[in-house]
Amino acid sequence: MLFLRQISGQISGMALGLAGALILSAGLSAAPASAGQVSPPPLVLSPNLTEPWLLQLQPRVERRSTARRYQFKQQRQPKVRRTNWWSPRQQPVRQQPVHRQPQQAQKPRTRQIAQQYLPTVVDYDGGQKAGTIVIDTNARYLYLVQKDGTARRYGVGVGKPGFEWAGTHKVTRKAEWPDWRPPAEMRKRRPDLPVFMAGGPENPLGARALYLGSTLYRIHGSNQPWTIGHAVSSGCIRMRNEDVTDLYERVGVGTRVIVL
């Protein structure tokens, strides 16, 4: 730094000397010109011309620009997360869940006879002679006793509560696809029943009928096989159409029938 200051002082002296010489020469040149000549204007050398030389010799100092000095950092606005940016009127309507009562599982009602009521041959030791029909209303079975100590067993439907009966009778008549004439007592309970219905697939008596003595009871077929094994009738003994047809061919008028 001392060396730079000495150099700067010498140069400043030289610049001042040079400026003085120029001024002196200008004064000499400013003497009255000869006739017919115009004197030039005085030459003035500004001392500012020497500043760039002096600045180059001085150490460089980094200057901050005014734009950078006064540059302010922009503050970031916090982001606002809007959950419900729509107006209340534009909000979607949320439907309340409907609480339904659980439905009780219903067992599907089969349209066929239960397997245990299908016809089969079983051992029999009830003491009744061959050819006798024995009906067990509690177990819902009809037995046709055979000679070899066995019996053909069929599933049956029996009288509903209040219409049960028991006794011994004989088959007094047989009929294929019988007509149906509901008794007066039945029509009194069921006014919707017809007075007469011709035999056929829609007839409640089914394909065959065995009439028991002088009573209103019969062993007959049914177009509702799913009722076999249940107490559903008004006292008659129901069988599947296939089963009553098989029984019809095996017994005749006069066959003894025991209802337990």
Residues labelled catalytic: 220, 236
- CA–CA gap between residue 119 and residue 216 (Å, rounded): 26
> Is residue 240 helix, strand or coil?
coil
| Displacement of CA 193 from its chain's centroid (Å) | 47
Pairing of strands 231-233, 158-159: parallel
Instruction: Locate the DSSP E strands across the chain.
Output: 120-123, 133-136, 141-145, 150-155, 158-159, 167-176, 208-212, 218-220, 231-233, 237-238, 256-259
What's the full length of the chain, in residues?
260
> Cα torsion for 141, 147, 148, 149, to the nearest 10°?
50
Neighbours of 225 (CB within 10 A): 23
Provide the 8-state DSSP code for 187.
H
Token pair for residue 26?
Answer: 């200008």
